[in-house]
């Protein structure tokens, strides 16, 4: 998992409340058995004028010129600004995959759906909860200044670059530790690989029959 320490990026405003996971990554794209390749289909039904399906060449699509991510001023954005209850709906982990694979590193909103919020941390994406009044002012700044950027300092838990000055934010200590060190669930497990190997060796010494291999069967 990619580490998150200090990130500076252009802000893109998703000025809608209750954006659900089917809007973030529509259901037809969940057929893929891979964890990659979802970025081109982020917000697919809003982002394109034609119907999307897995395996399409993004260059052959018809972009919706009115959609925020298709506007030139927001190209290359890596900080997503959202309204309340972002990520509601089904629990699909593909939603944070798509956001991350598009290029976003953080999402700022007044509130998130719980499962989506948890899935973000497990996939290297930083969701930040801020008061609604602060989010509203960030929307104003984003609309007012083309190329508006924010710097998110996770170790210091502060956002810089706003006319409001430094904006502190809360993050649970264990989640912060995992993001700063790039540790997903597998990475956390592998931190204890020596203890795991030692336990397996001791168990096999006590119960050697566990190493017994079944002969080939013709059944």
In whole angstroms, what is the distance from residue 33 CA to residue 47 CA?
A: 23
Do the strands 106-109 and 126-129 form a parallel or antiparallel pair, or are they unpaired? Answer: parallel
pLDDT at 219: 42
Q: Are strands 79-82 and 106-109 parallel, antiparallel or unpaired?
A: parallel
Nearest to 171 by CA among 181, 185, 156: 156
C-alpha dist (Å) from residue 43 to 65, 70, 79, 102:
14, 11, 15, 10
Task: Report the pLDDT value the prediction gives residue 189, as an integer from 0 to 100.
Answer: 66
d(CA 124, CA 199): 30
Can you give the pLDDT at residue 42?
98
pLDDT of residue 218: 47
Mean pLDDT, 10 residues at a time, over the chain (219 residues)? 96 98 96 87 97 91 97 97 97 95 98 97 96 98 97 98 98 96 76 74 79 57
Give the strands of the sheet with 149-153, arranged side by side. Answer: 126-129, 106-109, 79-82, 6-14, 149-153, 158-160, 167-168
Q: State the pLDDT at residue 49.
A: 97
Secondary structure of 147-182 as H, E, C letters? CCEEEEECCCCEEECCCCCCEECCCCHHHHHHHHHC
Domain ranges of the chain: 6-182, 184-213
Fold of 6-182: Aconitase; domain 4 (3.20.19)
**Which is it for the CA torsion 198, 201, 205, 209, positive or negative?**
positive
């Amino acid at each position: 998992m990619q580490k998150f320490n200090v990130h500076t990026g252009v802000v893109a405003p998703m000025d809608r409340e209750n954006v659900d996971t089917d809007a973030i990554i529509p259901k037809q794209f969940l057929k893929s058995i891979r964890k990659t390749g979802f970025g081109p289909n982020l917000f697919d039904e809003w982002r394109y004028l034609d119907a999307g399906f897995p395996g399409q060449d993004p260059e052959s699509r018809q972009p919706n010129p009115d959609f925020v991510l298709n506007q030139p001023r927001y190209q290359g954005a890596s900080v997503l600004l959202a309204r309340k209850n972002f990520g509601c709906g089904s629990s699909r982990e593909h939603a944070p995959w798509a956001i991350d694979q598009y290029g976003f590193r953080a999402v700022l909103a007044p509130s998130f759906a719980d499962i989506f919020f948890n899935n973000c941390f497990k996939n290297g994406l930083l969701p930040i909860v801020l008061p609604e009044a602060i989010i509203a002012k960030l929307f104003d700044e984003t609309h007012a200044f083309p190329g508006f950027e924010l710097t998110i300092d996770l170790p210091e838990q502060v956002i810089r670059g706003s006319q409001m000055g430094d904006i502190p934010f809360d993050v649970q200590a264990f989640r912060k530790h995992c993001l700063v060190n790039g540790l997903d669930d597998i990475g956390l497990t592998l931190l204890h690989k020596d203890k795991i190997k030692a336990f397996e060796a001791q168990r096999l010494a006590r119960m050697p029959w566990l190493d017994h291999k079944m002969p080939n069967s013709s059944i």
